[in-house]
Structures are given as C-alpha cells and as structure tokens.
Amino acid sequence: MRVLVLNPGSSSLKSSVVEAAPAETVARAAPTPSLAAAAPGLASSRLAALAPAPLAKVDVDWGVDATAESDPADDIRGLLRRYSEAGVPAASLGAVGYRVVHGGEQFREPVLVTPAVIAEVEALRSLAPLHNGIAVATMKAGLSAIPQLPHVAVFDTAFHATLPEDAYRYPVPERWYREWGVRRYGFHGMSVEWSAERAAQLLARPADGLRLVVAHLGSGCSVTAVDGGCSVATSMGLTPLEGLMMGTRSGSIDPGILFYLQRTGRLTDDELADQLDHESGLVGVSGRTSDVRELLRLEAAGDGPATLALQIFVRRAAECIAAAATSLPALDAIVFTGGIGENAAGLRARIVARLASIGVAAIETAPVSRDAVISASGNSPAILRVEAREDLVVARAAAALVETARPGTQGL
C-alpha cells in the first residue's frame, strides 16, 4: 500500500510517499556483519532493499510560525499536485498517515482519524504545545483535502507504553500522577522502534534478544534503553523538554532555577516557557545558532561560546547514554540516529570517548553515509549508525490498520 506520510513540525510540513510492507517481511533475511565487512557495496545494496527509500518526498516551509501564513489544506493539495508531477498520483495512494508527538495515556496504538480523536489530541496540547496543535491543524486539513482516503494517526509516545512504573513515575506527591497525569511519557518512539529493528538486521541477531541504548540526536534529542524490543527507560518526560541538551531546548535543569526566576520577577511563566523551548540548548550557550555544522566550523576557528556549547552537548549526551544503560541487564549496542547522530561523526566519536569508563571502546571519526556497525569487529557493546525512518514506521502502521479496519468507519 502506498501511504502519504505527513509529519508536521513547528516550522515545516515534511511529507513522503512510502510503499509500506509488513514489518515481519522487513525483519527477514538480515545481512551478516561479516558480509558488511567483506563487501561493503553488496551489503549496502541488500540493506537498501530492507529499508526502502520513499517513492518521493516533498516539504512545505511554514517559516517561524507554522501555519500562520498559509492554509494547511491548500498546502496538502499542493503536495498532491507535486507528487502527481513526480509520477505518484493521488489515485495510487491507499492511506494518509500522520506523526503525532503526544498521545498521552489514551493512545497506545495507531488509530483512524475521527472528530473524537482530533478532539482528544487537541486536549493534550498543553503537554506538547510545540507539536500537538500543529498536528491537529494538519489532520483537519488532510481530511478536508483528501476526504476519499482513510487517515491514520500514529503516536510517538506509544512505543514507550512498555515503560515500567518505576521508570514512568516521578518522585512527587501521588495525586500529581493520579489526578493530574504527571508522569513520563517519552518521545521519538517511532525513531527508536525503527532503530531497534534495524540494529537487529545489522547485527544479525533477533530483536527480542538485544539490549540497546538508542540515542536520537537531532534538533530534539533523547536516549532510550530498549530491552528485547521494549522501551524500559527514556530521557524525555511529561513533555519533550526533559533530558539531553537540544538545539533550542534546555533539557533537564534544576527546577529551582524556575522558581528563582519567577519569584524574583525576572521572567513570567510565558517567558520562561518560550526561552526554555526556543532560546536555550545549543543556541542559548553559543549565542548564535543551533546548527551543529556551523558550531563545528566556529569551534575550529576558536570561538569560545561555540566550543562550550558542543562540550556541554557531548557531556550531557554521554551522561544520558550511561544512565540509560543502567536499566538494562547488559548492553549489546549503542545506536546513533537523528540528524546529528547520523551525520556528525566527530561529535559521535567524542560522545563515545566519554563512555570509556563503562567499557565502550573508541570509534573512528570518519563520516558514515549509510546504516552500519561503525565499531571495530568484536567490540562489545557495538556502535551503530542508523538513519531515522519515522516515515516508514508511520506508513507500515497506517497500512496495517487500514487493512484490518472495517469499511465505513472513517472520516469527519
């Protein structure tokens, strides 16, 4: 089934058309590490077949204020025209799938998009203000622009439904959890799900026997411990603000800082939220940019703030990886994914170097352009580089749900 995948973000609408195949088909016939080592070209071609590229990709730039300057329904109709020009007509599509960041405790599986679902996602907006409101607008627009197709919402938090209670509960008064839903949800679930599946292929081992730490490092960053395909610990929490230092987000800081700034009248609640989400992290420390490529260039030129920003980033990433490993009975591999995890080879090597005290061997700083085991043969834990494929996870989930759903249950 061809699925149009829509991934709305704070500044753009990313989209792709993916030919979805059942997960069990992808899981078969993994290449062996020896093949990858002996014949990189052959291994690469076989891996490409296991992770099919999108048939086409089209993005819409929304600028700094998401949908303020455009109608998302018009944008989606424009996407369809561009896909048709690329040889992927709307008539060939079987479903539309959406990446939705926060599903709360209500959504632990993909669901057909209905008015009730949209209302519940909207109600969760306070937990992911940067993401869920835009997802709601995009789902409404998608239903308006493509009413003839089934639409499926897939949730980033769903993969973390397996977190044990001692991992998702915070040490706060019980009523905070029981009455107000204050708990850890975790995010980047689709990225972690694919990374775990891909790691099993690359290591030629069954997924249900692997103990992994997945580091998704991009504009948003998180670390997840995966035991036998299940999330058992993750760094993001009630919201996507907790955990690692990120591009513009602070990650975890002393909550007393917030009280101090409020009590002394230095910042209002709204100013605090805005600065922690948009003006902190790499851009906050560097004072210039959150673009790691630019920060590396500035670091090489001797820029102090850029150097400090990258040093803090590396320290915080290594700390979170090491902490996640304590939730596993053993550590078979560390997987780097996301834009920084995949492409910033030097930073990746610096993070790994800080893990020497827990038995992780150093890796090369050479760039790697494809999914691969990048640690030396025989090293344990292994270090892997995996391309994030949230689009493929959304497409497969949407296709599977549509194929099993009864006719007549879709639409507004």
Task: Supply φ then ψ for residue 221, to 5 degrees.
Answer: -130, 140
Nearest to 341 by CA among 381, 380, 368, 323: 368
**Chain-centre distance of CA 340, in angstroms?**
12
Active site residue 156: yes
Residue 196 near residue 124 (C-beta atoms within 8 A): no
User: Of 156, 277, 371, 391, which is the active-site residue?
Assistant: 156
CA gyration radius, the chain: 21
Rounded distance between C-alpha atoms, residue 239 and residue 229, angstroms = 23
Partner residues linked to 152 by β-bridges: 97, 112
β-strand partners of 211: 227
Dist. CA 134–CA 160, nearest whole Å: 22
SS3 call for 233? strand
Output the six-digit token pair for 63: 């600028």
Residue 390: how many CB atoms within 10 A of its CB? Answer: 23
Closest CA to 107 of 132, 71, 86, 89: 132
The string of DSSP codes covering 310-339 is HHHHHHHHHHHHHHHHTTSSS--EEEEEHH
CA distance 138 to 135: 5
- What residues are annotated to the active site? 156
